[in-house]
Structure 1
Amino acid sequence: MAKKGSKSAKMTRVSPLKPGLRGASRLVQSRIHAGFRSATLSRQSMLRFSSSVLFALLTLAFIALWLGGHLPTMRDNLETFKQERLMAVGFTVERIDVTGEGRLNEADVRAAVGIYEGDYFFGADLKRAQRNTESLPWVDRAVVRRLWPNRIVVQLVETTPYALFQENGVVHLTDRDGMIVAPYTVETASLPAGLRLFTGTDAAIHAEEMTQLMEAHPVVWDKTKALTRYPSGRWDLTLIGGQILRLPRDETAKALRRFTAIDPQTTQRFSIVDLRLDDRITLTPATSADA
């Protein structure tokens, strides 16, 4: 024991961690880190293994369903489930609007469209509806489209009648191409004025061609009510008063000019004016019955 007042004994500071213990600490820390890395690698390996097993099971299930022919059924069931869910939240057809059906019965148009209120909105077959609608008489073009969120709109462009065509005693309305639009009836509404009647072999097909030729001779065309085409390709004109002009197959325009050069007071006394020969005009007097 040091005496009071004596010089204090020399004290040596000792490190908190001796060199041997410091090395042991580093060893423990390295083993802990190694354990963490090992645990991490084990989890990743397990995840990869689990994923591989799951993928293999799904592949085997898919092959089994495919071989068993159940895939279409599953697809249909999923589609039905999706459709029912969407319809449940309001994706249904609530209105079908038809425009441009001046000569058509709207009920016929709706039946051709084949889409009805309450149908699945996204399931409406617009292409089929358009094809069916365009097959109706009077319909030249049709556009069927969805209008968000619940409407189907059908827009019709109607065919404009170009001529009347008589075949086997039945009169039809035709378009510019000679295609039959609909049967002609006296009740047919909104017909263009001045439609001429075409009869004979392929008369409807050649109606536009003959009409253009005749429009260049308005004096004759305004009096023409019917045109008859023969197998040779020539035409007869029937005028409003019943007079018949027999035209040649070739140089028809020249024959019409020859006719218009004659005094109308002279030609109106004849029931038939034959212009088929280039060097003469043959006239058939009108009988009392013709008069």
Structure 2
Amino acid sequence: MAKKGAKKPAKLTRVSPLKPDLRGASRLVQSRIHAGLRSATLSNRSMLRFASSAMLVILALAFVALWLGGYLPTVRQSVTDFKQDRLMAMGFTVERIDVTGEGRLNENDVRAAVGIYEGDYFFGADLKRAQRNTESLPWVDRAVVRRLWPNRIVVQLVEIEPYALYQTNGTVYLTAHDGRIIAPLSAANESVASRLRIFTGVDAANHAVSITQILEQFPAIWDATQSLTRHASGRWDLHFAEGMVLRLPVGDEAEALQRFNSVKARLGTDYGVIDLRLGDRLTLTAKTASEA
């Protein structure tokens, strides 16, 4: 039993000379580890940035070298050829070319104008050039050339409808509504020409529509007309099947035709020329012996 008033012994703390304060040491070690990890991370990022920069510099130098040396087109072509070869090996080639609407055209001529053949690269077909070439063919008004997945090229043609026959320099041509020459008249298209009128003279093909629209108002006169001649002044002569010539004025064709239509039945066919150019009179010329 302790004596009253005696001092309590001091609390002793065991301190190992080898392990002084372990908690402080642990925090120090951990902070150093974290600092090392951060340093390593920063070092890796810096290395990546450096490598990326170096790669960009190398690529830029390579590009400049190719450009200065004039090799860029060759490189691009090589890449394109490689891609094309791979796609063609996968089956992307033209296997069929269908042509529709070539009633008056030879299909082989159309195919030659299109310029796309079986075995060609499907995506490399130049459709715009094929369309231009096809529309330059006789009889073709419009052409549509398109790809049809997975391996077909389709060519659709809209042909020109012949409107008239145009005779110049001893040759007769089929012409379109707007005066365009379609093709020379031949045995192959005579059946088309049988219902058409012949237009001759100065710029006659380009004015065929305007005079035809007037004459169609007088069916009997139009049916009897075989050919029409346009003069430099712009006026027309109508040539009838029986050899009679009807001379029209400039600008008053409808009125002159109306006057002629009212007396036509009484005139008969014994006249070589009927001149309607003067508005207040009708001049008749008898047939010559050669015309009778």
5 Å matches for 1:137-152? Answer: 137-152=138-153
Match of 2:64 in 1: 63
Q: Is 2:188 the counterpart of 1:210?
A: no
CA distance in 2, matches of 1:189, 1:273: 31
Which is worse superposed, 209-218 or 266-275? 266-275
Match of 2:79 in 1: 78
Say whether the 8 Å CA contact 1:103–1:189 is kept in structure 2. no
Q: CA deviation at 1:265?
A: 4.7
TM-score, normalised on structure 2? 0.90
Q: CA deviation at 1:19?
A: 7.6
Amino acid at match of 1:217: F
Say whether the 8 Å CA contact 2:165–2:193 is kept in structure 1. no
Match of 1:262 in 2: 263
5 Å matches for 1:33-44? Answer: 33-44=34-45
Q: CA deviation at 1:113?
A: 0.4
Structure 1, unmatched stretches of 5+, are 1-11
Q: CA deviation at 1:216?
A: 1.1
Percent identity, aligned pairs only, is 66
Match of 1:5 in 2: none
Structure 2, unmatched stretches of 5+, are 1-11
CA distance in 1, matches of 2:179, 2:50: 74
Amino acid at match of 1:131: R
CA RMSD of aligned residues (A): 1.9
Say whether the 8 Å CA contact 1:246–1:272 is kept in structure 2. yes
CA distance in 2, matches of 1:200, 1:78: 60
Going from structure 1 to structure 2, the CA distance change for 1:264 and 1:186 (only over 3 Å counts) comes to farther
Match of 1:96 in 2: 97
CA distance in 2, matches of 1:223, 1:189: 20
CA distance in 1, matches of 2:248, 2:190: 34
Say whether the 8 Å CA contact 2:143–2:156 is kept in structure 1. yes
CA distance in 2, matches of 1:138, 1:226: 23
SS in 2 for 1:73: helix
TM-score, normalised on structure 1? 0.91
SS in 1 for 2:279: coil
Which is worse superposed, 240-249 or 230-239? 240-249
Amino acid at match of 2:200: T
Q: CA deviation at 1:191?
A: 2.1
Say whether the 8 Å CA contact 2:138–2:183 is kept in structure 1. yes
CA distance in 1, matches of 2:190, 2:94: 33
CA distance in 1, matches of 2:119, 2:188: 36
Q: Is 2:182 the counterpart of 1:181?
A: yes
Q: CA deviation at 1:289?
A: 3.4
The Cα offsets for residues 235-270 of structure 1, whole Å up to 9 and x where unpaired, read as 110112221111112311111111111142523121
Q: CA deviation at 1:219?
A: 1.8
Amino acid at match of 1:187: A
SS in 2 for 1:143: strand
CA distance in 1, matches of 2:58, 2:249: 86
